[in-house]
């Protein structure tokens, strides 16, 4: 089965490289394009057998499974471009959280799904969040799950937990990287450790922590309990965290939920713009003009 990737920005490129490195797909089975075609050509420099197409329509003409790796405000424009080339034998997968599979099903004449990947997938690790449309065929469900199992742990989620789940899986690496950088900066400012050494030590510590959790030697609570001795150095540090972090993560999730609601409203406006007017635009799934 040929696979299309429309959009080769950060996440599009990560998926391409992960699929190839994870041996989920061969370069020759991939058909890719990007608004700025030079970005796609740079990927071809690394994988000469990959197929770079001139536009989204050409990708839809060659691939049966198509991933839309573009920003939310660009999704409906791309869908408009590829729809004339889609049949029931196609499946379109969006990777953006504000657009639901129900919205995709309203306007597409084929199977639909949403998969929210993570930058951790580039290391063939982490989680990918999956939601299939009600009309998504079993063959496509198996194919998509198989692809992402090669590069991640696929987890099925319901629409109502999309944003919070994405905050953990997709945004989480950026959040915890920020905390790690603050941790390193404080160490450099307050001690004699230089930044290169502090960065190396912190990075290796995080890798080791991940391995402990992956191999299930400890749970998060038991790991903390194992290291932390009340009255000892770790205990003193934990007390500082308890006193100063406060409700910071509560505030984080409230902020991301608020932004998500705003993005959903903007998505709804774009959907209405592209598919409610002018009257000659046709909605699929039997809806009237």
Query: Which pLDDT tens digit goes with each residue over 217-238?
Result: 999 999 999 998 777 999 999 9
Claim: this prediction has a pTM higher than 0.75: yes
The CATH number of 3-157, from 3.40.50.1100, 2.40.400.10, 3.30.70.520, 3.40.50.720, is 3.40.50.720
Which residues are 93's β-sheet partners?
Answer: 67, 113
Per-residue b/e over 236-252, b at no fewer than 16 CB within 10 Å?
eebeeeeeeeeeeeeee
Q: Are 113 and 140 in contact (CB under 8 A)?
A: yes
Cα dihedral 47, 48, 54, 55, rounded to 10, equals: -30
pLDDT at 229: 77
Whether the pLDDT of residue 286 is over 80: the answer is no
Query: Which pLDDT tens digit goes with each residue over 116-171?
Result: 999 999 999 999 999 999 999 999 999 999 999 999 999 999 999 999 999 999 99
Query: Which pLDDT tens digit goes with each residue over 57-108?
Result: 999 999 999 999 999 999 999 999 999 999 999 999 999 999 999 999 999 9
Q: Could you say which DSSP state residue 169 is in?
A: I
Q: Sorting pLDDT into bands at 50, 70 and 90, what band is 275?
A: confident
Query: Which pLDDT tens digit goes with each residue over 4-21?
Result: 999 999 999 999 999 999
pLDDT at 283: 45
Per-residue b/e over 172-195, b at no fewer than 16 CB within 10 Å?
beeeeeeeeeeebeebeeeeeeee
Tokens representing 161? Answer: 């937990």
Instruction: Locate the domains of the chain by residue range.
Output: 3-157
Distance of alpha carbon 137 from alpha carbon 141, whole angstroms: 6
């Amino acid at each position: 089965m040929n696979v299309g990737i429309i959009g080769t920005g950060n996440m599009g490129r990560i998926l391409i490289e992960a699929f190839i490195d994870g041996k989920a797909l061969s370069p020759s089975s991939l058909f890719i394009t990007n608004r700025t075609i030079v970005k796609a050509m740079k990927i071809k420099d690394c994988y000469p057998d990959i197929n770079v197409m001139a536009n989204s329509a050409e990708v839809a003409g060659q691939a049966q499974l198509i991933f839309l790796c573009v920003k939310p405000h660009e999704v409906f424009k791309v869908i408009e471009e590829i729809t004339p080339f889609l049949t029931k034998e196609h499946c379109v997968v969006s990777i953006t959280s504000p657009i639901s599979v129900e919205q995709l099903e309203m306007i597409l004449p084929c199977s639909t799904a949403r998969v929210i990947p993570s930058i951790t997938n580039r290391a063939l690790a982490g989680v990918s969040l999956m939601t299939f449309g009600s009309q998504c065929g079993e063959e496509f469900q198996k194919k998509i799950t198989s692809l992402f199992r090669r590069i991640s742990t696929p987890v099925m989620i319901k629409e109502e937990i999309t944003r919070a789940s994405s905050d953990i899986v997709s945004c989480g690496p950026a959040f915890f990287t920020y905390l790690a950088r603050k941790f390193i900066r404080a160490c450099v400012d307050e001690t004699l450790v230089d930044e290169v050494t502090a960065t190396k030590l912190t990075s290796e510590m995080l890798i080791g922590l991940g391995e402990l959790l992956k191999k299930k030697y400890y749970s998060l609570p038991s790991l903390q309990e194992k290291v932390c001795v009340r009255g000892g150095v770790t205990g003193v540090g934990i007390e500082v965290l308890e006193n100063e972090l406060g409700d910071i993560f509560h505030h984080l999730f409230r902020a991301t939920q608020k932004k998500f609601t705003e993005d959903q409203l903007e998505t709804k406006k774009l959907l209405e713009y592209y598919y409610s007017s002018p009257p000659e635009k046709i909605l699929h799934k039997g809806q009237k003009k």
